[in-house]
Amino acid sequence: MQNSEFIGIAFWQTFIKWQKNCNRALKKHNISQTQFTLLLVIKQHLDEEIGTSQMNIADSAGIDKMTASKVLRSLEEAGLLNRRDHPTDTRSKLIELTKAGIKTLEQTKSTFKEFDKDFFGNLKNEKKFKKSLNDLNKTNKE
């Protein structure tokens, strides 16, 4: 089903190709697209002093709590972040990046930017496309 009549199917097929190729590009950093996204979200939350609970991170990344928990655990095992108990909510974990996590994120960003540029290089109007995706994200709830 290469040229679907449904925009959602075409979007999904493109996303799957994007994710597979992205994971291939990030492999040299021993990190997946989902791991990179979570590191990026954590860094943004820390920079903007937004809460860094697992739930906040999952919500900002747009992934379910169980997936976030598994991926965060793998990042912790790799020494890229620490999870500690929340001081007032015993059900919650707070996330902080380690020095290795910050270094990995910074090294990986350039690879990700290059990959994104190559993958989306054929777009006639990248800014308009990005705005359209952001608009869809804002107006459509889960």
**What are the pLDDT digits (tens) for 71-96?**
999 999 999 999 888 788 777 778 89
Q: pTM for the complete prediction?
A: 0.86
Question: How many C-beta atoms surround the C-beta of residue 29 within 10 A?
Answer: 16
- pLDDT score for 2: 65
Distance CA 49, CA 51 (A): 6
- pLDDT score for 23: 96
Distance CA 82, CA 125 (A): 40
Q: What totals of helices (H) and strands (E) does the chain contain, helices first? A: 6, 2
Q: Residues 20-33: pLDDT tens digits? A: 999 999 999 999 99
